A and B are shown apart, each in its own frame.
Chain A
Amino acid sequence: MIVKDWCSFCGECAGVCPRNLIEVKEYSLIFSDTDCKECDFCINACPLNALERD
């Protein structure tokens, strides 16, 4: 997942991830891409359009 530099790390993406794969740190997001089923819930939920699939 590409995290754009305007991400505010609000964690909304993590809240809707059905597989609990997103770790939200204070100033970074870590995605467990290997288990991702590409549902894109995280991308669609982002209020700032800050996520993009690789």
Chain B
Amino acid sequence: MIETDVLVVGAGPAGSIAAKHAARGGAKVILIDKKSEIGAPKRCAEGVSDNGLENLGITPDPRYIAKKIDGVRLVSPNKTNVWLTSEEIDLPEAGYCLERKVFDKFMAMDAAREGAEIRIKTLAKGLRKDGDYVIVTCESMGEEFDIKTKIVIAADGPESRVARWAGLKTATKPGNMESGIQYEMCGVEFEREGVIEFYFGSVAPGGYAWIFPKGDDIANVGLAVIAQDTNKTAYEHLQEFVANCPATQNAQAVELNVGGDPVGGMPRKIYGDNIVVCGDAAGQVNPLTGGGIISGMNGGKVAGDVAAKAIIDNDWSEKYLEEYQIKIHEEIGAEIDKYLKVKEYALSLSDEELDSVAEAFQNIDFEKISTTEIVKNLVKVSPKALLKLGKLI
């Protein structure tokens, strides 16, 4: 039987950084992923902030940066534009559109270079307790085998099963699962270069539509909806959006991406005896934007550090691993809770109310580009928002 200190299930950004930090801390680490190619297919609009990567100790590499982002365009249902770019703001916060197929591999390679053993095309099929250890049954290329480990880091994405096998209540309620779908398209016509675009209202019930540039005429064009808020599929909404959006009239799809995005916040408990949960599997996603690369990687980093320390201290009990939950709540918990409330408010707005907010934003001087800045100004222009969100901001 294969034995290890830490088994990380899922080699997305959260799992890979968890493996990297656990290995760096001295633990023997195995990182498994069910896919034959880490990073593919992508299930993501691929946007990250510069300081998000910096805070994780990652220097952006041009090989996985598809496009530098210079600003944001918000589009209300009646097509009122709110531009937040270097033309309007002195120092817009830089961000990037990644090439996830390259980025995810780089993150896994970083883990390997720290000493983690990577096993691709390896699926976790079950988990059972064995004294102080757990045994994870895996399958690879038709062969079934067991891995005995002291700690499992469950980073197996929105479809996570591992945490639930361990008895944690991490299932996502249908009302908290965004159905995301996007095309990568060429021939997209941008009004301004390097600007990420968000389209709000009934174009995407329960979510929004986006255009994230990846090249001169290349972009991820997608949307996310809450399935129970609409009687159309996410795919039908995307077809309508692409047919009606001026930027995509001459665009053609070269790739279709699909995936769920858990936007209900972190479950109450994401640790237990022998296990911690991170990334999308732990709801480490900004509930308002659906962005989860940086927050998930924060979760993975903390999970890896705590796991390595647990191995050194020879204690991987639930009581010891609670430190992970405490730390990650300190780092990102308050932000997630805040944006849950903002999302609830945003989804209560009608198309007409969204239009009036966009109109009011025309007279506001934004100091920087960030979700918090947008919400802060929302409270300024909307008495209803002030009432609902004033205390939060």
**B43 contacts chain A at the CB level, 8 A cutoff:** yes
Pick from B19-27, B96-104, B195-203, B254-262 the stretch touching chain A.
B254-262
The interface residues of chain B lying within 8 Å CB-to-CB of A49 are 233, 235
**B217 contacts chain A at the CB level, 8 A cutoff:** no
**B9 contacts chain A at the CB level, 8 A cutoff:** no
**B159 contacts chain A at the CB level, 8 A cutoff:** yes
Instruction: Return A8 CB to nearest CB of chain B, in Å.
Output: 5
The interface residues of chain A lying within 8 Å CB-to-CB of B160 are 15
**A36 contacts chain B at the CB level, 8 A cutoff:** no
For chain B residues 29-66, which have a beta carbon within 8 Å of chain A?
34-36, 41, 43
- The answer to whether A48 and B258 touch (CB under 8 A), given A12-B179, A26-B121, is yes
Contact with B along A7-20 (1 / 0, CB 8 A): 01011111111101
The interface residues of chain A lying within 8 Å CB-to-CB of B34 are 24-26
Contact, CB under 8 Å: B258 / A8: yes
Contact, CB under 8 Å: A45 / B35: no
Partner of A12, one of B41, B171, B177: B177
**B306 contacts chain A at the CB level, 8 A cutoff:** no
8 contacts between A and B (CB under 8 A): A12-B260, A15-B172, A17-B171, A20-B161, A25-B123, A41-B174, A44-B228, A47-B234
Chain A count of residues within 8 A CB distance of the other chain = 23
The interface residues of chain B lying within 8 Å CB-to-CB of A24 are 34, 159
**B180 contacts chain A at the CB level, 8 A cutoff:** yes
**B345 contacts chain A at the CB level, 8 A cutoff:** no
**B71 contacts chain A at the CB level, 8 A cutoff:** no
Contact, CB under 8 Å: B179 / A45: yes
Contact, CB under 8 Å: B233 / A11: no
Partner of B233, one of A20, A22, A23, A46: A46
**B360 contacts chain A at the CB level, 8 A cutoff:** no
* Chain B contact patch, size range: 20 to 34
Contact, CB under 8 Å: A10 / B258: yes
**What residue of chain A has the Cβ atom nearest to residue B176's Cβ?**
A16
Closest 8 CB pairs of A and B: A11-B159, A12-B260, A47-B234, A14-B159, A47-B179, A10-B258, A15-B158, A10-B259
Partner of B171, one of A18, A26, A47: A18
Instruction: Return B132 CB to nearest CB of chain A, in Å.
Output: 25
- The answer to whether A14 and B235 touch (CB under 8 A), given A23-B125, A26-B35, A41-B174, is no
Contact, CB under 8 Å: A44 / B227: yes
Contact, CB under 8 Å: A11 / B123: no
The interface residues of chain A lying within 8 Å CB-to-CB of B171 are 15-18, 20
**What residue of chain A has the Cβ atom nearest to residue B228's Cβ?**
A44
**B145 contacts chain A at the CB level, 8 A cutoff:** no
Interface centre among A8, A12, A16, A24 (most CB of B within 10 A): A12
Contact, CB under 8 Å: A45 / B159: no
- Determine the distance from Cα of A22 to Cα of B125 in the docked complex, in whole angstroms: 11
Known: A15-B171, A23-B161. 12 other contacts (CB 8 A): A10-B43, A10-B260, A12-B177, A15-B157, A16-B260, A24-B159, A26-B36, A26-B123, A44-B228, A45-B227, A47-B181, A49-B233
**B341 contacts chain A at the CB level, 8 A cutoff:** no
**What residue of chain A has the Cβ atom nearest to residue B180's Cβ?**
A47
Contact, CB under 8 Å: A16 / B174: yes
Contact, CB under 8 Å: A48 / B260: no
Contact, CB under 8 Å: A45 / B161: no
- Determine the distance from Cα of A15 to Cα of B264 in the docked complex, in whole angstroms: 12
Instruction: Return B308 CB to nearest CB of chain A, in Å.
Output: 29
**What residue of chain A has the Cβ atom nearest to residue B260's Cβ?**
A12
- Determine the distance from Cα of A17 to Cα of B260 in the docked complex, in whole angstroms: 12
